[in-house]
Amino acid sequence: MLKRLPLTLKLLIITILAAALFSFIIDTYHNRQLYKLYESELLDTLKQQARIERLRFDYQIKFFMQISRVAANYPPLIRQLHSGKAGELKINLRRKPVWFPGRSLISSQVHPRLVMLLNPDGTIHNSFSTQLRSIPISLQPPSGYLLTHSIGQTMLSMIDNKPWVLATSGVYDEGVLQGYLMLASPLDAEFLSNAHRYDVAPNLTALVDVSGKEPVILASSNSELVPPGMPLGKIEKSYLVTGKEFFDYGSSDLPLHFISLQSKKKIDDKLNIVLHVANQQRNLQSAGLALVFILAIAGLTYRMRRLSREVAAFAREHLGVEISSQSADSLARLEHDIHLLEKKVVEVHEQEINKEKAEKQKARQQLHISEMRLYEFFNQADELIQSVSPEGDIRYVNQRWMDELGYTPDEIACINISSIVAQPCLIDHFKRLEQLADGGSPGLFESILVTRDGAQIEVEGSSHAHIEDGKLIEVHTIYRNVSMRKQLEREAREHREHLEHTQRLESLGVLAGGIAHDFNNILTTILGNAAIMSRHIPRQSEAYDRLQRVIESTERGGDLCKQMLAYAGKGKFMIRPINLSTMMQEITKLLSVSISKHVTLTYQLENELPSISGDAAQIQQVMMNLIINASEAIGDQRGEIHVSTGVIDAGPSLLDSCLANKPVPGSYVWIEVRDNGCGMSPEVQKKIFEPFFTTKLSGRGLGMSAILGIIKAHQGALKLTSAPGSGTTFTVYFPVSDKRTTPSLVDTETRPYMGSYPGKTVLVIDDEESIRELAVVLLNEQGIHTLEAVDGEDGIARFKEHMQHIDMVILDLTMPKLSGENCCREIRKLRPDVPVIIASGYSKETVSPRFLNHEVTAFLQKPYTPDAFYHVVHSIFDHRN
């Protein structure tokens, strides 16, 4: 029969059955959960009610204490004890005695059943009760009890096998004990029922004696249901006991529990009522759910019929297929229509897929061609190209990158960018990464990459971030190797600094030479005039001694000028062949007494050493100064100074690193002084050759500057190597002598010379008036007529005017308008035979190369003495005669 039913109806029946089964399972589960939940809530309610009943019970107990304290201060009660008449127990009183206060205390829910007024000795003075007919014998307390419990304390005690509550307070009149007031009440059903709440169904309350092995009921609010003496374990079978785990009340006489009881049958009845209501609600929900399913199936059937018509219309309109089904079952008809539509759609889809495959194949070919072009472009680029993940893993590099850094393609996947970037550049690399992740652009930057073998290359690069959905995907970086450019820049900077240092030293040399020249002119005037004056003063006079000291000071000033001229490379030299190894051996003894006793001097001298051309005294000064400075650098510590000599073919690269005046490449003899002293910082090395710079506490600071001047004057070079704590090495290079000599001027050895040449005429040309006056005075003393000229042009004019009468010309080298050199040449053109004496503060070796052979007759070094002046003049006149 079910087979004949339409599929829609079958589906409806199955759905209803499934809904009913599901509803039954859900109802059963919900009922169990609801039962547990309501049971838990009911237990919580009962426990809360038990707490309230316990508090009300405590309130009754505590109120007894309050009544006893208030009543003990009632004046009539005090007077009754003090002078009142004793009486016997009065029972079933409706009205209180006049000595007991407050009707409200008696008639309230908490009221004492027995009131006793006791004498100080514990005997009963008066008493009354609302219910008792006699006072229990055990209730009459001894005097010791009263003294101990006379402060209104509440006690629970067993009296005649029944629990009683007692409250006792002392009665005082002006601080004197008059007696005691005792309130008492049995803890029976009436007392316990007062603890019930009357706005809810009351629990049964009971007092339990827990002093024995098994708890026993002492009293309850319903003696019929829970009689005294019944064990608590028996009651728990029929009642739910609450409160005992929360409250304890007792005293030294009677430990008790106050508990609340609720019938389990009543609890089950309440829960069953709740479950019955819940079941009715679930049944209604199940019926509603079935109705919803029925409506849903009906709607689904309608939608399937409509969808079937839409499918037929779609097939007819877009695919050209007529779909018709005679099935009465809507679902079967829809299934047939969809099956036909599916076949047609598959055909169309296959055609679209074939077309799409062809387009994708063409796109893949074009993409492959583009990738190959891009790959070839990247690999042929001179730049280093890389792609790096945010974690630093290298994903792609070009061939240039691998060639520069030395990695193979298999190694690329195993390295991280942190091992490629040099350690000092890692912080800047991570800063750029953060900037790129935030959407910024770091621009052009510089960094250092480490190759596979540990070498470092300097690069210049730029980075671009690939970001999708706000997340950094890759960082693309292009590097350019700028190591060669950076090396050239450093070399250019070092060369520029070296050139600037050399130019500064040259400028200082020019300045020192100019100062020495001008200072020599001043010293010449002072020395000449002082010598002239000393001739006219007796030797025994004090003035003669003072003039000698002036002469000596002037000569020391001249020595200082010589040092300055030596720094400028314009000192006076006596040129001869010198063997540096031989010279070092000759001054060994002198050096041993000039250096510290803690310093060891060692030599490594070349035996077959070519000679150099130079002034032996000046070369010796260079060696002495270098070795003494090395000893001072070692100080009081033990150290070693090593001196060595040798010969070398010096090329431009070596000479460019030295301090020199454009030395010519060739063979050079070198001497090296190396110590293990304190060394020098780069700042000190830059200033050590400057005049007046010194690291000593005393000294003029001209030692090293003079050494450099002497070396430059000998066409040599000096190289300095030093570092703090590593000692210092000075290497001096002198060109090998070619045994050729330079024409020199007449030597001017000074010796006393006296003579007279009357009728002779001498032209004195000097821009310094004091120099001219001194020369005129000295010549006039010899009977020589003089002519004066203030500069070179004036000298030529005066020479032309008196050309036939002039026998000699004394010419200054440095003058305004026309220099002494050009003035000499003009005079030679006018009279080639006239003697010319050059007077200059520069040395003869500096001046001689500026003149041709026989242009200058003699040289006079400033500052000069009258004897030196006379010697030059007289030697020329004597030679001509």
Query: What does the alpha-carbon distance between residue 3 and residue 266 come to, in Å, rounded to a whole number?
Result: 55
Task: Give the best-scoring range by mean pLDDT among 44-58, 500-514, 821-835.
Answer: 821-835
Q: What is the mean pLDDT of the chain?
A: 77
195 touches 57 (CB < 8 A): yes
Task: Give the best-scoring range by mean pLDDT among 228-237, 324-333, 803-812.
Answer: 803-812
Q: What is the mean pLDDT of residues 823-845?
A: 86
Stronger pLDDT, 35 or 193, i.e. the higher one:
193
The residues pairing with 394 across neighbouring beta strands, listed in sequence order, are 388
Q: What is the mean pLDDT of residues 820-837?
A: 90
Q: List Cβ neighbours of 775 (8 Å cut-off, separation of 6 or more).
A: 764, 766, 786, 810, 869
30 touches 282 (CB < 8 A): yes
Main-chain dihedrals φ then ψ at residue 181, nearest 5 degrees: -115, 125
pLDDT tens figures, 416-437: 888 889 988 888 888 888 888 8
Which single residue is written with the structure tokens 């001043």?
522
Q: What is the mean pLDDT of residues 107-121?
A: 71
pLDDT tens figures, 501-536: 666 656 666 666 667 667 777 777 787 787 777 777
For the cut 70, the answer to whether the pLDDT of residue 561 exceeds it is: no
pLDDT given for residue 310 in this prediction: 73
For the cut 80, the answer to whether the pLDDT of residue 582 exceeds it is: yes
For the cut 60, the answer to whether the pLDDT of residue 147 exceeds it is: no
Q: List Cβ neighbours of 824 (8 Å cut-off, separation of 6 or more).
A: 811, 836, 838, 851, 855, 856
Stronger pLDDT, 87 or 257, i.e. the higher one:
257
Tell me which residue of 714, 761, 439, 769 sits closest to 577, measured CA to CA: 714
Stronger pLDDT, 377 or 630, i.e. the higher one:
630
Query: Quick check: helix, strand or coil at residue 166?
Result: strand
Stronger pLDDT, 179 or 15, i.e. the higher one:
179
pLDDT tens figures, 772-785: 888 888 888 888 99
188 touches 196 (CB < 8 A): no
CB atoms under 10 Å from CB of 629, counted, come to: 21
pLDDT tens figures, 281-323: 777 777 777 777 777 777 777 777 777 777 777 766 766 666 6
pLDDT given for residue 788 in this prediction: 93
∠ Cα 713 718 724 (to 5°): 145
pLDDT tens figures, 379-408: 777 788 888 888 888 888 888 888 888 888
Q: What is the mean pLDDT of residues 193-208?
A: 69
Stronger pLDDT, 130 or 563, i.e. the higher one:
130
pLDDT given for residue 152 in this prediction: 57
Pair type for strands 836-840 and 858-861: parallel
Query: Quick check: helix, strand or coil at residue 736?
Result: coil
pLDDT given for residue 248 in this prediction: 47
pLDDT tens figures, 681-691: 888 887 787 76
pLDDT tens figures, 644-681: 999 999 888 888 888 877 788 899 999 999 999 888 88
Query: What does the alpha-carbon distance between residue 525 and residue 532 come to, in Å, rounded to a whole number?
Result: 11
pLDDT given for residue 473 in this prediction: 85
Q: How confident is the model at residue 749 (pLDDT cuts 50, 70, 90)?
A: very low
pLDDT given for residue 752 in this prediction: 43
Q: Where are the alpha helices (DSSP H) in 690-791?
A: 703-713, 769-781
Tell me which residue of 678, 767, 769 sits closest to 722, measured CA to CA: 678
For the cut 60, the answer to whether the pLDDT of residue 329 exceeds it is: no
Q: Where are the alpha helices (DSSP H) in 568-658?
A: 580-586, 588-592, 616-634, 652-656
pLDDT given for residue 593 in this prediction: 67
Q: What is the mean pLDDT of residues 325-332?
A: 55
For the cut 50, the answer to whether the pLDDT of residue 444 exceeds it is: yes
Q: Full-prediction pTM beyond 0.75?
A: no
pLDDT tens figures, 706-727: 788 888 888 899 999 998 888 9
Give the CB-side neighbour count of residue 658, counting CA atoms within 13 A: 27
pLDDT given for residue 643 in this prediction: 93
